[in-house]
Amino acid sequence: MKKRGRVDSLQLSWDEIGFVCEGLSLSSRPLSIATKRITEEYSLGPRGAWMVLLVNEGEVFPMHLTRIFQVGRSLITAELNRLAEAKLITCRQHDADGRRFELALTALGRKVCAQVKEETAKLVLERLKSYTREDVLLCARMLRDFRLPDTADAPAEYERARLRQMSSESKQAQSTSKPAPLKSTRTKRARKVAT
């Protein structure tokens, strides 16, 4: 499906491509401003506050987080352990598949999630105040298209994201059980090297 106003072959000069790449590569830095206080207060890793938001939106399995952040399981496990130590998430065995762990926010986690949303909204609205809502949403679609190339998997990814968003409220109300410790995917040897 063609995007509105899309031409068959986009032509950009190297300077224009550089301008786009500069924005893409450096845009995450200001976002860290929105999460800095939470990250420091709860001793989280660089992705911790964003993980709280994702769990709130229905990304309740660690493997999904590895795909979203495109990092290894050991990094996700380390960050989830920090979230659990800070009492922001709980982790319990999945009812249907005992090999999987399901994440949920605690009451404190929901409070932190609201704070991250508030700080992020302030930052985005302040930085993009000179643009129209339509401009901002077009930019967001373009960034998503850049992140999810036009492949057979992209439509399925969009549909999964939409379904997760629709069911996030019902999942939030679940899981008041005690957190189960997260198992590290690293070998004993790798753990020795890390210590």
Taking Cα atoms as reference points, which of 69, 73, 71 lies closest to residue 55? 69
* 83, 89 Cβ separation under 8 angstroms: yes
pLDDT digits (tens, 9 = 90+) for 165-187: 445 434 544 444 444 445 444 44
pTM of the model: 0.68
Domains defined along the chain, listed by start: 14-175 (1.10.10.10)
Q: How many Å separate Cα 153 from the centre of its chain?
A: 18
- Secondary structure of residue 8 in the 3-state scheme: coil
Residue 139 backbone phi and psi in degrees, to 5: -60, -45
Q: Would residue 178 be called left, alpha or beta, if left means φ above 0 and alpha means ψ between -120 and 50 degrees? A: beta
pLDDT digits (tens, 9 = 90+) for 31-41: 888 899 999 99
Q: At what angle do helices 107-127 and 48-56 cross, to 10 degrees?
A: 110
Half-sphere exposure (Cβ direction) of 135: Cα atoms closer than 13 Å: 6
Tokens of 186: 């690293």
Taking Cα atoms as reference points, which of 160, 126, 157 lies closest to residue 144? 157
- The residue-averaged pLDDT of 147-162 equals 56
pLDDT band for position 27 (cuts 50, 70, 90): confident
